[in-house]
Amino acid sequence: MFLISDLCSLLETYLDEDQVAEVYRAYLFGAEAHEGQRRLSGEPYIYHPIAVARILAEMRLDHQSISAAILHDVIEDTPTAREQLAEKFGDEVAYLVDGVSKLTNIQEVSKAEAQAESFRKMILAMVKDIRVILIKLADRLHNMRTLTVMRPEKRRRIAAETLEIYAPIALRLGINRVRLDLEELGFAAYHPLRHRILKAAMRKVCGNRRELIEKLLNSIKTRLTREGVNAEVVGREKHLYSVYQKMKQKHIPFNEISDIFGFRIVVDSVDSCYRTLGVIHNLFKPIPGKFKDYIAIPKTNGYQSLHTALQSRYGFPIEIQIRTTDMDQVAEAGIASHWIYKSGDENGDNIAESRAREWLHGLLEMQQKAGDSLEFLESVKVDLFPDEVYIFTPTGEIMSLPSGATVVDFAYAVHTQIGDHCTAARIDGRPSPLHTVLKNGQKVRVITNDYARPNPAWLNFVTTARARTNIRNHLKTMQHDDAVELGKRLLESALAKLEHTLSSIPEERYEPLLKQLELESNNELFAEIGVGNRIAPLIARSLIQEHDDQSPAPEDEGAPSLLSIRGTEGSVVKFAKCCRPIPGDPIFGFLTAGRGIVVHTQNCKNVAGFQKHPHKWISINWEEQTEGEFLVDLRVVVTNHRGVLATVAAAVATMESNIDNISLDESDGIYTTINLTIGVQNRTHLARVIKRLRRINDVLRIYRSS
């Protein structure tokens, strides 16, 4: 049993006497507040806050954090108010306690939503002060250590939450000691049988090879001493949960896991790290492709080390980690190793802290754009990826992204505006589509267009929470604003046919119509019209029927109103892929509920199907000045010569046209058909592109395929 006297003795090793006294005062307050409360184990409740405080004391956190840890449940589980804590212990301690307290006044929501909202509250507090999450992690760690008293179903739920959220957060902040404990305890609670079997298998293997591992350890120490390298060498076994994850992800049995054993070498300087690497590679044969330099390119959480895998003389591989003393401290304690409160020095130069701040700012941006707490929680889960790829920007800057990230993820990582307007990319100088999965070391240049907007299809392949959140937010805002604007124009056009305008309709005429349609505002009505849920001519007649009984009736009640489009209407005006209309083509619109207007050419092969729904036709034309880029399909028949595809692509590029997609039909050995989807401004621009392509000797025929 760890008592308050033990805690104070530990604190006295690094805190001033008056600060320890302040912690003891917090203990007296907490003990009184929790008087009579007991945990499920039967022990007094105050033992839990003391244990949480001990975990933080082992990280050598400041006295305010320790006090907050002792008081972390008083707001949630006792009648104590935040204002009372602020008065007795200061605003800083009160803020930390409130940050880790669950929301207790959430009503009429599901349990999942309540938990997500409490998590969101904690994350927002953490953005302002990282100590909030450190206290929460310590709280979760002690709860996991005492989880056996819970019911089995509750144990599994808490363990799943720990493995999905809290262990990855500890990893993201580089707090390795806490992360390993959370993973081990979570694994044991969630999969108790698998944990027992795997632990027994590990114990058997380690027992059989213990003597060999000791010989390898002595060999490494002897060689380093001979080469004059002053180093601390320790052996280690692969973390049990890591072994399980590797078996699960690679679908391999335990006996095929090769890197169970490893050694950590801690030296005094970066130069010694690289020198030690040379010594080790001379001692054992390195395994190709297994070297990683996290010193030159640190991990997202600031972790730095050299990793290499070697083939031992006994037939099994071993992993070696080489790092400095400071790097070792960061690797074990992460952000906690550099968070200096006592002096007020924020030590902004250290990598762990700067990376943590970047992540926290990203979380803040995510929560501002997330639709609700559940969406925010899912975004945070997506963002907690341990595996990374490192990408170079055109200026040589290195950016880290989750494994599996695409060009769109990279674009949003650079800047939100670049992500919103990206159209394509050049990877290592070669044109590449937006869905391309990036690989380590690639140099990426994103191509943007001011008229481009996020595409809903991007959500099918992006991996980062930042990209996903920004795309969703933009689509929601864009679709609503576009729908309102289009609805206004459709209604204005319908009213013009009845010799009225929007400005001529009194505001009070909207009220009964909005009530009838169960809408709250004029903008909601316009949006309903814009997305095709309401027919503009019918709404127009409803608005004027009592306002002007002498209004001329339309010549044809089903006749559609005329609308001019310019190409910037956004997601509520879509251009059909079956015919690919571009400015200059004769067009008509088809109103689709929930989607807005789909634009077709008048000679579209699908026009016959629309004749069954004449009330959904919209008469539209192009404005004189259109904006943006419009996709069109071309089929280019060429002689099958080497390099002809590159020649065609270069010719399209010289005419300031982007290639959205390209494919080849099967060749007969003499001729090949290149299918191009290109972006043009209008028919005139398309004619110039075709004229340029016809000047290529290998091009035999060109025609528009839609």
Q: Count CB neighbours of 153 within 10 A.
A: 8
The mean pLDDT value for 230-249 works out to 88
Look at residue 321 and tell me whether its pLDDT is greater than 90. yes
Domain end, chosen from 439, 471, 503, is at 471
Weakest mean pLDDT among 171-180, 196-205, 402-411: 171-180
- Tokens (6 digits) for 45: 């409740």
Per 3-state DSSP, what percentage of the chain is helix, strand, and coil (rounded to 5)?
A: 50, 15, 30
Burial of 602 (0-12, 13-18, 19+ CB in 10 A): exposed
Overall average pLDDT of the 261-265 stretch: 90
pLDDT of 185 above 60: yes
pLDDT of residue 550: 43
**51: domain CATH number?**
1.10.3210.10
* pLDDT at residue number 278: 93
Q: What is the pLDDT of residue 235?
A: 87
Judgement on whether residues 467 and 609 belong to the same structural domain of the protein: no
Residue 77 designated active-site: yes
Q: Kindly state whether residues 38 and 168 are assigned to the same domain.
A: yes
- Please give the mean pLDDT across all residues of the chain: 82
Q: Which position has the higher pLDDT, 113 or 412?
A: 412
Choose the catalytic residue: 12, 18, 77, 227. Answer: 77
Q: Is pLDDT at 418 greater than 90 in this prediction?
A: yes
Of 303, 334, 365, the position where a domain reaches its end is 334
pLDDT at 470: 85
Judge whether 158 lies within some domain. yes
Residue 452: domain span: 353-471
Q: Which two tokens stand for residue 146?
A: 């005492």
In this predicted structure, the answer to whether residue 615 has a pLDDT above a threshold of 60 is: yes
Q: Which of 168-182, 283-297, 319-333, 337-351 has the lowest mean pLDDT?
A: 337-351
Whether residues 146 and 267 share a domain: the answer is no
Q: Is residue 232 part of a domain?
A: yes
Give percent of the chain with pLDDT exceeding 70.
82
**Structure confidence at residue 511 (pLDDT):** 81
- For residue 466, pLDDT over 90 is answered with no
Task: Note the pLDDT of residue 174.
Answer: 78
pLDDT of 241 > 70? The answer is yes
Q: Is the domain of 175 the same as that of 144?
A: yes
Residue 342 lies in a domain: no
361 and 411 inside one domain: yes
215 in the same domain as 260: yes
Chain-centre distance for alpha carbon 90: 36
Strand pairing report for 317-324 and 398-402: unpaired
- Classify residue 339: in a domain, yes or no: no
Residue 17 annotated in active site: no
- Among residues 43, 58, 62, 76, the one annotated as catalytic is 76
pLDDT digits (tens, 9 = 90+) for 642-653: 888 889 988 998
Number of domain units in the chain = 5
Q: Which amino acid is present at 249? A: Q
Task: Please report, for the domain that includes residue 683, its CATH number.
Answer: 3.30.70.260
Question: b/e map of 48-75 (b: 16 or more CB within 10 Å)?
Answer: bbbbbbbbbbebbbbbbbbbbbbbbbbb
Does residue 675 contact residue 663 with C-beta atoms inside 8 Å?
yes
For residue 688, name the pLDDT band (cuts at 50, 70, 90): very high
Q: Is the pLDDT of residue 388 over 90?
A: no
Instruction: Please count the other Cβ atoms lying within 10 Å of the Cβ belonging to residue 668.
Output: 8
pLDDT at 375 over 90: no
Output the pTM of the full model: 0.57
Distance CA(560)–CA(539), nearest Å, equals 13
Residue 377 lies in a domain: yes
Short-list 568, 559, 398, 556, CA closest to 481: 568
- Pick from 104-118, 197-211, 604-618 the range whose average pLDDT is largest: 197-211
Least confident of 82-86, 89-93, 452-456, 664-668: 664-668
Distance CA 127, CA 555 (A): 63
CB-based burial label for 164 (10 Å; 0-12, 13-18, 19+)? middle
pLDDT value at 553 more than 50: no
Distance CA 471, CA 465 (A): 10
User: Is there a domain that residue 345 lies in?
Assistant: no
* Mean per-residue pLDDT, 200-227: 87
Which residue in the block uniquely carries the two structure tokens 């990855």? 168
Do 398 and 444 belong to one domain? yes
268-294 mean pLDDT: 91
Query: Does any domain span residue 344?
Result: no
* CATH number for the domain harbouring residue 458: 3.10.20.30
**Residue 184, pLDDT above cutoff 90:** yes
pLDDT tens profile 140-171: 999 999 998 889 999 999 999 899 888 888 88
> Could you tell me if 488 and 601 lie in one domain?
yes
Closest alpha carbon to 256 in 246, 264, 245: 246
Report DSSP letters for 576-610, one per residue. Answer: -TTT---TTS-EEEEEETTTEEEEEETT-TTHHHH
- Could you report the per-residue pLDDT of 573-601, keeping only the tens digit for each? 788 888 999 999 998 888 776 567 788 99
Query: Is residue 414 located within the same domain as residue 531?
Result: no
Q: How confident is the model at residue 372 (pLDDT cuts 50, 70, 90)?
A: low
Q: How many percent of the chain have pLDDT more than 90?
A: 30
pLDDT at 383 over 70: no
Q: How many CA atoms lie within 13 A of 97 on its CB side?
A: 32
- The predicted pLDDT at position 182 comes to 94
Let me know if residue 343 belongs to a domain. Answer: no
Q: Are residues 44 and 188 in the same domain?
A: yes
Residues 39, 77, single domain; the answer is yes
Question: What stretches of 577-699 show up as alpha helix (H) in DSSP?
Answer: 607-610, 644-654, 683-694
Are both 463 and 526 inside the same structural domain?
Answer: no
Q: Is the confidence at residue 207, as pLDDT, over 80?
A: no
Query: Of 430, 452, 471, which residue constitutes the final position of a domain?
Result: 471
